[in-house]
Copies of this chain bind each other. A is one copy, B any other.
Amino acid sequence: MTERDNRQGAAALKRVDSRPLYAQVREVLLERIGTSGWMPGDLIPNEFAIARELGVSQGTMRKALDSLAADRVLVRRQGRGTYVARHTPADVLFRFFNFFDADGNRIEPDSCRATLAAGRATSQERAKLTLGPRAKVIRISRIRTWNGAPFIFETIILPEAFFPGLGKGRSVPNTLYDHFQKAYGVTIGRGEELLTAIAAGPAEAAALGIAEGMALLKLDRVMHSLQNQRVEWRSSVCRLDGAAYRVELR
């Protein structure tokens, strides 16, 4: 690539908007990661190479790369290179599964029985996932166990547009988010969860094998993709004897 191209590259970045260069660079890198360029697990070119290509200094490139690493989109390893973060079941549990046992160890749910169905989204589902009037969704209900006993009973709503044919002919994996990334190129970026306490009704009592009226923790979670689209609504009720939901306060 010639020097003129470099300047044009830099100018192209600057002319579009007035945000800092590193923020624009970050945007460019995010696009490359999303659209079948750099895939999860890939080693991306080194700092100097991308910087030269985009016509910015290595320092600016570093700032963009560090910011993506802070958001867990990239993983940097000294002496080896920069990789596109890959979701593994262990990563997913570590980031998004906040249950701990009495000794402070993270709980690893053993398995799950799942049922799956598709249909038109209800108005509530459309609101939660910002879907259009005739959008379809996939609904998964499952029970996750811990030490062999039912622990979580949850319903997961997914826009069909993001996950066409999910579950067709195959069983639903225990950790969904790594499957989303591998099978559909949808990477979970962030989300929010609303927690309340409820008394077990007939449905929860039957699903979890407990008495009606037992106090349960209810989680209402909406997850967003890296591109900031709402890709999952999950509603879970959890039996919490011997376990706790852990929150870091900062």
**Which residues of A are interface residues toward B (Cβ below 8 A)?**
71-72, 95-96, 98, 100, 190-199, 213-217, 220-221, 223, 238, 240, 243-250
Contact = CB atoms under 8 A, between A and B. Distances in A.
A190 B250 contact: yes
A40 B23 CA distance: 32
B213 A199 contact: yes
A61 to B, nearest CB: 16
Contact of A196 (B72, B96, B240, B250): B240
Contacts of A249: 95-96, 190-193, 221, 223
Given A199-B215, A215-B215, A192 B245 contact: no
Contacts of A72: 250
Given A213-B213, A215-B216, A216-B215, A195 B245 contact: yes
Contact of A247 (B193, B243, B250): B193
16 contacts: A72-B250, A95-B249, A190-B249, A192-B248, A192-B249, A193-B247, A194-B245, A194-B247, A195-B245, A195-B246, A196-B243, A196-B244, A197-B217, A197-B238, A215-B215, A220-B244
Contact of A197 (B190, B216, B223): B216
A150 to B, nearest CB: 15
Closest A-B pairs by Cβ, 10 of them: A194-B244, A215-B215, A197-B215, A197-B197, A195-B245, A191-B249, A197-B217, A193-B247, A199-B215, A196-B240
Contacts of A213: 199, 213
Contacts of A238: 197
- Taking each of A71, A197, A217, which has the highest tally of chain B beta carbons within 10 Å of its own beta carbon? A197
Contact of A198 (B192, B215, B243, B247): B215
Given A95-B249, A190-B249, A215-B215, A195 B198 contact: no
A215 B221 CA distance: 20
Given A215-B215, A215-B216, A216-B215, A195 B248 contact: no
Nearest to A195: B245
A246 B192 contact: yes
A247 B195 contact: yes
Contacts of A197: 197-198, 215-217, 238, 240
A244 B195 contact: yes
